[in-house]
Amino acid sequence: MDLKTFPVYYQAYIAKVPKGDPILLLEHGVKETIKTLVMVTEEKANWAYAEGKWSIKDIVQHIIDTERILCFRALSFARGEKTSIHGYDHNAYVDEAEGNRRSLKDLLEELKRLRASTIDLFKSMTPEMLSRKGNANGIDFIAEQFLYIILGHEIHHMEVVQERYLN
């Protein structure tokens, strides 16, 4: 997809997405995320590099929550939803999710299952469905754009994990 067709806020995420079949990229992305995090200790997964920053578990929970929300938006638009969908406060979601009370293994298993469902959802959509428009958080999108936002969002957060938590 052309980067310029995305709302400005999401362009930095989309710029990170490599060229290729987006479904295969979704499959590869979750494998890389799990491969990167599977050996992280629980202690390290609960650690944040600064006051007020998220832990690795919080980041994984955020990736999960955001993917669910973006899939809902894609599904809604693909099915012809005309009502605007409200935005969400990602910081409040992380606080309420309490990711640190869960094991990293459980979070990664949930992400793996969610990604399989995400792939099924997008594979089920026809080109016409993927091209349907809608509005979320006051911004116009087409359903297919959420596929690329999911990809770029995961890449962005895994870059942060690599730079701030694993080096």
Give the residue extent of every domain in the chain. 20-164
Q: Please tell me the class of the 20-164 domain.
A: mainly alpha
Determine the straight-line distance between the first and last CA of the chain, rounded to whole angstroms.
33
Residue 1, pLDDT > 90, answer no
pLDDT on residue 7: 87
Model confidence pLDDT, tens digit, residues 22-52: 999 999 999 999 999 999 999 999 999 999 9
Pick 2 or 90 by higher pLDDT. Answer: 90
Distances (CA, A) of 124 to 78, 79, 107, 119: 10, 12, 26, 8
The model's pTM: 0.96
pLDDT, one tens digit per residue, over 65-111 is 999 999 999 999 999 999 999 999 999 999 999 999 999 999 999 99
How confident is the model over 52-69, as pLDDT tens digits?
999 999 999 999 999 999
Q: What is the pLDDT of residues 113-138, one digit of tens each?
A: 999 999 999 999 999 999 999 999 99
Task: Give strand pairing partners of 133.
Answer: 142
| One-letter amino acid of 16 | K
DSSP the chain: --GGGS-HHHHHHHHTSPSS-HHHHHHHHHHHHHHHHTT--HHHHH--SSTTPPPHHHHHHHHHHHHHHHHHHHHHHHTT--SPBP---HHHHHHHHTGGGS-HHHHHHHHHHHHHHHHHHHHH--HHHHT-EEEETTEEEEHHHHHHHHHHHHHHHHHHHHHHT--
How is residue 167 written in tokens?
């080096």
Q: Of 33, 108, 20, 122, whose CA–CA distance to 70 is shortest?
A: 122
**The pLDDT of residue 53:** 96
Q: What is the CA radius of gyration of the chain?
A: 16
| pLDDT score for 49 | 93
